[in-house]
Chain A
Amino acid sequence: MSAERGIGGGLSRSELAARVAMDIQDGEYVNLGIGLPTLVANYLPVDREIILHTENGMLGMGPEARDGQRDPDLINAGKIPVTERLGAAYFHQADSFGMMRGGHLDVCVLGAFQVSEHGDLANWHTGRADAIPAVGGAMDLALGARRVAVMMELTTRDGAPKLVAECGYPLTALACVSRLYTDIAVFDLHPERAAAVVEIFGDHSIDELRELTGLGLMDETEGRR
């Protein structure tokens, strides 16, 4: 997915980030994962007060630090210097992950290698024999928030679908993703039901999505195109 308009009139990365941001409500506590989800922070509606959590120990994270603002003691989970908003709070790692596991975070937005139609997530390890594994907070985040959303391209660079019947990559967590935002469509996922397409971007069709993924996708797009 380039910064330009996606294939077939799908969303660009920034448009996708704006679409994800639209679903985050006033007053919610939100964790944005490393990589693509970080972009969502740029599009949070200004008329909503949204508190960002960073798992290395902060609530009330502000934008990335600019020149003249960098503080080695103030970084985000991607180890990028950030800023603090008024009313920010710091805490240690056990409290930070207790906030997740304890169900206190409203939303978590993660990137992914693959998502299964029932919401299994694979986003920490490609499983390649020569790869050095690193998991960080991925497994905690994946099951710690009340709503776990994934944003990703629907296909790999080679055109293979990343929404699949069963994940081929090592799992991060089982049946945890409830909503999947991609450049082509938005999906609702459920542990016991078929995946539902709730929104399609550009000139794509539900049949095209069914063919691409090989899944019996339900059509719940009525009134949302």
Chain B
Amino acid sequence: MITKLAASAATALADVRDGSTIMIGGFGRAGQPTTLIDALVEQGAGDLTVISNNAGNGETGLAALLATGRVRKIVCSFPRQVDSQVFDGLYRSGRIELELVPQGNLAERIRAAGAGIGAFFTPTGFGTELAEGKETRVIGGRGHVLEYPLPADVALISAFRADRLGNLVYRKTSRSFGPIMASAAAITVAEVDRVLAAGEIDPEHVVTPGIFVDRLVEVGDRFAKPEWADVG
């Protein structure tokens, strides 16, 4: 019988090795898998490459992971924000490497990795400094840039509900990178509010099919948290 539910976040991440490439889902704070990130901080793996849209907000979650100094490189589209002080400090002092990728290229490179595409030509970035040194081609009269897939060893994502088989449903804009990252990593770990029995999610409503999800961590109902007080 398939059992993807891990006993704890620590158990789910126990085998993450030094030097791993880790995808972290979410856009800003929405959809950020904070329980899994905290567990990764505790777990202690270092020399990490992180792929995430942003480079942390405030002092918690991804920002706390960066603050440990165990992230060698970050691949993201929008590191600089009003509350990205942790990343800003590391970057200015040369303690983290940045690969800046336009958001749509970041998404498509992740998707390509999950879908077994060898590379693709995209118009985004053509003629800009982010395409310097990259192969280009004019297709249909328009300049394109060759971009390669972006796979990972581990993806940490957040969803709303899972069933025992790892089928996932998200909530609103917290879906963001979850479905594509789930497909692009050797091991995908999803934190979800609740894990339901098989059949409790309508098959027509499944957003990420369980084949893309290896481990589940149940974190409890988000509506009990003060940030969701308006929603409940």
Contact = CB atoms under 8 A, between A and B. Distances in A.
Given A72-B228, A73-B30, A172-B128, A139 B104 contact: yes
B79 interface: yes
Nearest to A143: B123
Interface string A95-129: 01110110000000000000000000000000000
Nearest to A92: B179
B127 A173 contact: yes
Interface size, A (range): 35 or more
A139 B87 CA distance: 23
A205 to B, nearest CB: 34
B88 A132 contact: yes
Interface in B109-149: 110-111, 122-130, 143
A139 B180 contact: no
Interface of A is mostly: loop
Contacts of A178: none
Contacts of A94: 107-108, 110-111, 179-180
Interface stretch (B8-16, B61-69, B167-175, B213-221): B167-175
A57 B27 contact: yes
B104 A90 contact: no
Interface string B25-43: 0011111000000000000
A36 interface: no
Contacts of A100: 104
Given A73-B174, A93-B110, 9 more contacts: A90-B175, A91-B175, A93-B103, A132-B80, A134-B79, A137-B103, A139-B130, A140-B104, A170-B129
